[in-house]
Structure 1
Amino acid sequence: MATEYSPNDDVAQLFQELFSKYLNVAALAAFLFDYFLTLSSEVHHVWGRKWEISRIIFTTSRYLPFIPSAIIVHSVFYGQKCDTNNIQDVIYNVGIVSAELILVLRTYALWERSRRVLAILMALGVVFCTAAMVIRTKVTFSLPGDSEWPYAWYSYGCTSPTWRNSAFELSFLMAFEIILQCMNTWRKFRTYRDVQSQTLNTLYWDGIMYMFGVILLTTTNVAVIAAAPIASIPALETAQVAIHSVLASRIFFNLKECDERIRGGGAEPDISLDTLRYRSLSVGTSLSRVEHSV
Structure 2
Amino acid sequence: MATESNDVVTQLLQQQLAKHLNVAALSVFLFDYCLTFSSEVHHVWGRKWETTRIVFTISRYLPFIASAMTCYNVLYSHKCGAYIFILDALYDCCIISAEVILILRTYALWGRNRWVLAILAVLAVAFIAAAIGSATTIDFSLPGDSDSPYSFYPSSCAYRTSRSAAFQYIFLMVYEIILQSMNTWRKFRTYRNVQSQTLHTLYWDGIMYMFWVILLSAVNMAVMVTAPLASIASMDTAQVAIHGLLASRIFFNLRDCDERIHHARTESSDMTLVPLHYRSHGSTSQSPAEGSGS
Decide: shared fold, TM above 0.5.
yes
Describe the SS at the equivalent of 1:65: helix
Instruction: Give 1:277 deviation, angstroms.
Output: 4.3
2:222 is the counterpart of 1:220 = no
Distance 2:126 2:87 in 1: 23
Aligned to 2:228: 229
Describe the SS at the equivalent of 1:64: helix
Distance 2:230 2:87 in 1: 19
Amino acid at match of 1:274: S
Instruction: Give 1:66 deviation, angstroms.
Output: 1.0
Distance 2:21 2:245 in 1: 17
Any gaps of 5 or more consecutive residues in structure 1? 280-294
Aligned to 1:100: 99
Aligned to 2:283: none
Aligned to 1:180: 179
Describe the SS at the equivalent of 1:82: coil
2:149 is the counterpart of 1:150 = yes
- Compared with structure 1, are the counterparts of its residues 230 and 159 closer, same or farther at alpha carbon in structure 2 (3 Å cutoff)? farther
Instruction: Give 1:191 deviation, angstroms.
Output: 2.1
Matched residues, number = 273
Distance 2:140 2:44 in 1: 43
Aligned to 1:254: 253
* TM-score normalised by the chain length of structure 1: 0.88
Aligned to 2:87: 88
* TM-score normalised by the chain length of structure 2: 0.88
| Contact 2:22/2:238 (8 A) holds in 1 | yes
| Contact 2:11/2:150 (8 A) holds in 1 | no
2:33 is the counterpart of 1:9 = no
2:21 is the counterpart of 1:23 = yes
Distance 1:80 1:147 in 2: 17
Distance 1:95 1:7 in 2: 39
Instruction: Give 1:9 deviation, angstroms.
Output: 1.8
**1:145-201 per-position Cα deviation (integer Å, ceiling 9, x unaligned):** 11112244x6xxx35497112112111101111111111112212221111122211
Amino acid at match of 2:25: A
Distance 2:254 2:289 in 1: 8
Q: Which consecutive segments of 4 or more residues in structure 1 shift more than 2 A?
A: 3-8, 158-162, 276-279
| Contact 2:109/2:289 (8 A) holds in 1 | no
**1:1-58 per-position Cα deviation (integer Å, ceiling 9, x unaligned):** xx99533322321221111000000000000000011001101111111001000110
Moved more, 159-168 or 67-76: 159-168
State, as a whole percentage, how many aligned pairs show the same letter. 60
Aligned to 1:240: 239
Aligned to 1:75: 73
**Aligned with residue 57 of structure 2, among 52, 56, 59:** 59
Amino acid at match of 1:243: I
2:206 is the counterpart of 1:207 = yes
| Contact 1:54/1:276 (8 A) holds in 2 | no
Moved more, 194-203 or 211-220: 194-203
Instruction: Give 1:276 deviation, angstroms.
Output: 4.1
Moved more, 259-268 or 228-237: 259-268
**Aligned with residue 35 of structure 2, among 24, 34, 37:** 37
Aligned to 1:46: 44
Aligned to 1:287: none
| Contact 2:62/2:90 (8 A) holds in 1 | yes
Distance 1:219 1:80 in 2: 24
Aligned-residue Cα RMSD (Å) equals: 1.9
